[in-house]
């Protein structure tokens, strides 16, 4: 009991250091696909990780993207995160890391740089990290295209996966996540002069508008159900030309594998409305849903650890957004998400982190990792959903 309760006190003593490190990490921009910036951020994190784990990172470069891996021989638990953000290079100049009382703001501060700082601090509190693996990727925000095989490989070697993405604004852990798909619809028409003879053209903008309306009927009416959302759209070349091409991106989210597959079938079955227009559909299912059955035993262990440490016992929440935890859960590995920072506004200009919650979250993660490091492998058991 004394050992567990001392984790909170130790984490509190590291609070100022965590805030300093968070400022350093947020200021080290890691825009999606920007190889020089991602490499610089990877260098920083590799140094931090070696300091706390006592072993150097394996730098796994795929298509130039630098992922960081600290594997364990007998990997009882894998800590998973990503250091890329959604913000373009230069954002930190207009919106630098800022602290107002117990709140910090800045690009990527919540998603998920504070979670990485807490992760490394939690590892400083653990006496033996030999059974703990760590994987930090740099393409999560763009779909984990290069890192997915690495994530799945390391998950299969692990007894459990703890994802250090942000908690909910209330501090709940995430026991289930929607799955997601991404599509690119390309419409081909025929150009013509918009003023002289528009009737000779096949208007790709009009065709893509028909497709947008059709997509709206594929989702469900329930706001918490299946969403089919048109996002990026481009069409045309000049204001006086009937556009001969248009491109539309579509984001899909659903709670079940069946729903993702239903929508996939419907989107692949789309047909052009205008005569002579053609439609090409690319993309597909990216992440299957994260099941609460795989998180349930880990949530109970987290609650037990919280009681021993003397911090609030966390609830479990369902999250509409997806993470790399979807991959690890989909292959049957016990996975618990939301073990990072408490805050809100991810991907927005007002993204923030509650600094006063960082010590308790760090202590909770350390206590849970401590427990998993000495356990036999967890066997998920079906049961009722945990609220």
Q: Which domain holds residue 268?
A: 179-286
Q: Same structural domain for residues 129 and 203? A: no
Q: Among 238, 268, 286, where does a domain finish?
A: 286
pLDDT at 221: 64
Do 229 and 327 lie in one domain? The reply is: no
- Would 203 be classed as within a structural domain? yes
The answer as to whether 382 is a domain residue is no
Claim to verify: residue 327 and residue 224 sit in the same structural domain: no
Burial group, residue 314, by CB count within 10 angstroms (0-12, 13-18, 19+): buried
β-partners of residue 66 are 61
Which parts of the chain register pLDDT below 50?
1, 381-387
Residues 127 and 189 in one domain: no
Number of domains the chain contains: 2
264/334 same-domain check: no
**Which of 258, 286, 314 is the last residue before a domain boundary?**
286
Decide if 187 contacts 208 (C-beta within 8 A). yes
Q: Is residue 20 part of a domain?
A: yes
Q: Does residue 13 share a domain with residue 150?
A: yes
> Where among 286, 320, 350 does a domain terminate?
286
Do residues 298 and 169 share a domain?
yes
Decide if 234 is inside a domain.
yes
CATH code of the domain in which 92 resides: 3.40.630.10
Q: Are residues 81 and 193 in the same domain?
A: no
**Predicted pLDDT at 4:** 57
Model pTM?
Answer: 0.89
CA atoms within a 13 Å half-sphere pointing along the CA-CB vector of 315: 9
Q: Give the phi and the psi of residue 381 in degrees, each rounded to 5.
A: -125, 135
Q: How many CB atoms lie within 10 A of CB 113?
A: 32
Pull the structure tokens for residue 224: 């918490």
d(CA 56, CA 112) in angstroms, rounded, equals 22
Q: Is the dihedral of CA 294, 289, 312, 133 positive or negative?
A: positive
In a domain, 385, yes or no: no
Domain match, 243 and 312 both = no
Residue pair 32/85 in contact (Cβ under 8 Å)? The answer is yes
**168 and 34 in one domain?**
yes
């Amino acid at each position: 009991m004394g050992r567990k309760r001392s984790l909170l006190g130790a984490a509190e003593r590291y609070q100022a250091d965590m805030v300093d490190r968070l400022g350093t990490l947020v200021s080290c921009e890691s825009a999606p696909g920007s190889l020089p910036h991602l490499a610089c951020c990877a260098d920083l994190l590799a140094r931090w990780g070696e300091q706390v784990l006592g072993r150097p990172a394996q730098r796994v470069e795929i298509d130039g993207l630098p992922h960081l891996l600290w594997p364990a021989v007998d990997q009882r638990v894998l800590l998973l995160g990503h250091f890329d953000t959604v913000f373009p290079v230069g954002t930190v100049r207009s919106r630098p890391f800022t602290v107002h009382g117990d709140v910090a703001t800045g690009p990527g501060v919540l998603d998920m740089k504070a979670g990485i700082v807490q992760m490394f601090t939690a590892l400083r509190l653990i006496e033996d990290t030999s059974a703990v693996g760590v994987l930090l990727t740099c393409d999560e925000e763009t779909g984990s295209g290069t890192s997915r095989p690495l994530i799945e490989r390391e998950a299969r070697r692990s007894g459990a996966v703890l994802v250090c993405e942000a908690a909910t604004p209330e501090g709940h852990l995430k026991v289930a996540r929607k799955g997601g798909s991404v599509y690119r619809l390309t419409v081909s028409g025929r150009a013509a002069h918009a003023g002289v003879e528009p009737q000779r053209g096949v208007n790709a903008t009009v065709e893509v508008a028909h497709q947008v309306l059709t997509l709206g009927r594929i989702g469900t009416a329930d706001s918490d159900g299946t969403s089919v959302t048109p996002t990026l759209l481009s069409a045309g070349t000049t204001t006086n030309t009937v556009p001969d091409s248009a491109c539309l991106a579509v984001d899909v989210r659903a709670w079940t594998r069946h729903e993702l597959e239903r929508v996939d079938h419907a989107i692949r079955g789309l047909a052009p409305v205008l005569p002579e227009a053609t439609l090409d559909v690319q993309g597909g299912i990216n992440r299957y849903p994260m099941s609460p059955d795989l998180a349930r035993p880990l949530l109970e262990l987290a609650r037990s650890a919280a009681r021993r440490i003397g911090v609030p016992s966390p609830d479990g929440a369902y999250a509409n957004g997806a993470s790399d935890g979807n991959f690890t859960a989909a292959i049957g590995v016990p996975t618990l998400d939301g073990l990072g920072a408490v805050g809100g506004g991810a991907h927005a200009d007002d993204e923030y982190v509650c600094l006063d919650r960082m010590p308790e979250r760090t202590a909770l993660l350390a206590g849970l990792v401590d427990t998993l490091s000495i356990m036999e492998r967890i066997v998920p058991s079906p049961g009722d959903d945990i609220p």
